[in-house]
Structure 1
Amino acid sequence: MAEITLAQVSKRFGPVTAVAELSLAIADGEFIVLLGPTGAGKTTALRLVAGLETPDAGRVFIGGVDVTGLPPAARDVTFVFQQYSLYPHLSVFDNLAFPLRSPTRRTPEDEVRRAVHEVARLLRIEDKLGSRATQLSGGQMQRVAIGRALVRRPSVYLMDEPLSSLDAKLRSELRIELKRIQQDLGATMLYVTHDQTEAMTLASRIGVINQGRLVQIGTPRSIYEDPADIYVATRLGSPGINLLPRALFPALEAPSATATIGVRTEHLAIAKANTGAVTGKVNWIERLGDQNHLHIDVNRQQIVSLVDPDEGLDVGDEVAVTLRKPLFFAADGQRVR
């Protein structure tokens, strides 16, 4: 495996800046996830590492070697795309073996068989090796696509939202598989997604991207609990963080520059209304089995709170709202500490 370093990398497409002065260091064996909405620049950053795009400025290093001017084939990376990109006329075995049989990486056939069976075992598709790709389910096809990247044992694995086209159950299963495989191999992975659940469950560290710029990078927990600004705060959390005007809680101690108060759903204490607290009215309850989400109206501001299903609250109840661990943001959206 190898570390990856992006040093002040920028890329423009006509008038659009896709990546702006991106600096990022990924350690050997680390699983980094770039998180952001469509158009944030995540895939372009991935393609710059792969050599599928050439930066307008900055340098790309893999394993300490400057690869900025090298073609993709010389970088020892593999790329897993969002779509499966399998050869439909080939068996699963031959799809997995294809990278090892290419003219540039000709491998002895006994070594090919050993590598394919090892990867098939990791991905739990050993019983599908004789099947055509067209006979597989969506989840199995994506496992083969991932396996084709794994079989080469490159320095770096690059993954562009490989689970986004799968249904929720398959996504959940493959997230667990992918994390297990990455830990077993000690692989260096750079993974991009717009899905916060993927980012939180897979990443050693998450890099949040906005309009081509890396806004914040840190462990999933630190990004969730200590966001740098409102944009980062809204990337994680389901339901999303409550963003409320400062004036809604006049008695709350807050920095003088505070314009907006952010509070996670689990950091709201809700109880039947009593004196001395901000009060609201329960408009709607999402009953999710192990927990309820209360939708509360407080002075025409909508607040969502996470509560125990045995709390005994119902639609129409007047409730007292108390904040725990609030986050404070200035008028420009930056965090106020």
Structure 2
Amino acid sequence: MADVVLSGLTKSYGTTRALTDMTMTIEDGSFVVLLGPTGAGKTTTLRLIAGLDRPDQGDIRIEGRSVLSDTPAQRDVAMVFQQYSLYPHLTVRENLAFPLRSPVLNWSEPDIARKIGEVAEVLRISHKLDNKATQLSGGEMQRVSIGRALVRSPRIYLMDEPLSSLDAKLRADLRIELKRIHAELGATFLYVTHDQIEAMTMASHVGVLDQGRLVQFGTPRDIYENPISTYVASRLGQPRINLLPADAFGAAKPGAAQIGLRPEHVHMGEGQAATVRRVEHLGDQTRLHLTMSGHEIITLADPHTTLAPGDAVAIRPETPLWFDASGNRI
């Protein structure tokens, strides 16, 4: 494993600027998640690191050495795609062995068998090794796809939204699996997604992308608690942050155009009058959808609350975030 340092990466496809001045360090052993919507530059970043595309400007250094002139094979990185990329006519064992039999690696058969056994145990698919890929469920196929990367022990694993085509239950299960695998292997992961839950639950560090620019980089907690803009604040958190006019609760911070309140920072019991519009009972928590002076607000309540639509409540802000007219944090 190794540090991967991106310096001033810029990439355009024709007249479309996909990435602008991307500068970021992926430390050895970290689990970095790039978060952003479609078109933010996430996959472009992976392709540049993997060597599938070449940047127009900037440098990529792995273990302190520029790899711009290296082929994808020479860079010793492994990529996991959104689609499973398996050979359907081969068994799980043969799919896992395929990368190790390449002329570049050329492992011996005993070493291949040993490595497949280790990876299959980590992924909990040992009992499926002799099944054809077409006999697997979606979750099992994605495990094998991840396994094809794990057998190689590369310097960095690049993962391009590998869970997005799975159903909610499988996504939740594999999020836990990936974090466990990362901890067990001590590997370096760069994972891209548009799903903020994946970013919050798996990442050691999150990079938030906006139209090809890295706008904030830090731990999930730091970005959640200290976003630099309304854009970043809206990318993390479920339910999303409440953004209201700065004077919605009275006096505002000088220069502020908006006040931002996480749902857990809307205090009930005193303050401005509001009306319960909808109640969502989720088992471990209850979400209240409120209306206050024409503004919609979501907050959290006790799981056993007896509040119902139409009830009146009083609310006030706690630890608000303030943003100027451009959406930048004050």
**What does residue range 243-254 of structure 1 map to in structure 2 within 5 Å?**
243-251=243-251, 254=252
Q: Is 2:13 aligned against 1:13? A: yes
Question: What is the Cα deviation at residue 65 of structure 1?
Answer: 1.1
Residue 335 of structure 1 pairs with residue 329 of structure 2: yes
- After TM superposition, which residue ranges in structure 1, 4 or more long, deviate above 6 angstroms? none
The alpha carbon displacement at 1:294 in A equals: 0.9
Secondary structure in 2 matching 1:335? coil
Is 1:258 aligned to residue 256 of structure 2? Answer: yes
Write the letter of the residue equivalent to 1:313.
L
* In 2, Cα distance between equivalents of 1:57 and 1:238: 37
Give the match's secondary structure for 2:17.
Answer: strand
User: 2:246·2:253 contact (CA, 8 Å) conserved in 1?
Assistant: no
> How many residue pairs were aligned?
330
Aligned amino acid, residue 8 of structure 2: Q
Distance in 2 between the 1:104 and 1:335 partners?
50
Tell me, which stretches of 5 or more residues in structure 1 are unaligned? none
Q: Does structure 1 residue 291 correspond to structure 2 residue 289?
A: no
1:43 matched to 2:37? The reply is no
Q: Tell me the TM-score normalized by structure 2.
A: 0.98
- Counterpart in the other structure of 1:325: 319
* Paired position in structure 2 for 1:300: 294
Q: What are the Cα deviations for residues 28-71 of structure 1, in whole angstroms up to 9, with x where unaligned?
A: 11110000011100000111100011000000111111001221
Q: How does 1:169-180 map to 2 (within 5 A)?
A: 169-180=169-180
Report SS of the residue matched to 1:89: coil
- In 2, the alpha carbon distance for the partners of 1:164 and 1:110 equals 35
User: Structure 2: 5+ residue runs without aligned partners?
Assistant: none
In the TM superposition, what is the alpha-carbon distance from 1:312 to its structure 2 partner? Answer: 2.9
Query: What do residues 138-169 of structure 1 show as CA deviations (whole Å, max 9, x unaligned)?
Result: 00000000000000101111000001111111
Deviation at 1:13? 0.9
TM-score (norm 1): 0.96
Secondary structure in 2 matching 1:103: coil
Tell me what 1:30 maps to.
30
- Paired amino acid for 1:130: D
Q: Residues 249 and 316 of structure 2 are in contact (CA less than 8 Å); yes or no, is this contact kept in structure 1?
A: no
1:41-190 equivalent positions in 2, closer than 5 A:
41-190=41-190
Aligned residue identity for 1:244? L
Q: Distance in 1 between matches of 2:305 and 2:255?
A: 36
**Partner of 1:269 in structure 2?**
267
Q: 1:255: Cα distance to partner?
A: 2.5
Identity among equivalent positions (%) equals 57
- Alpha-carbon contact 2:275-2:291 (below 8 Å) kept: yes
RMSD: 0.9
Q: Does the CA-based 8 Å contact 2:200-2:220 persist in structure 1?
A: yes
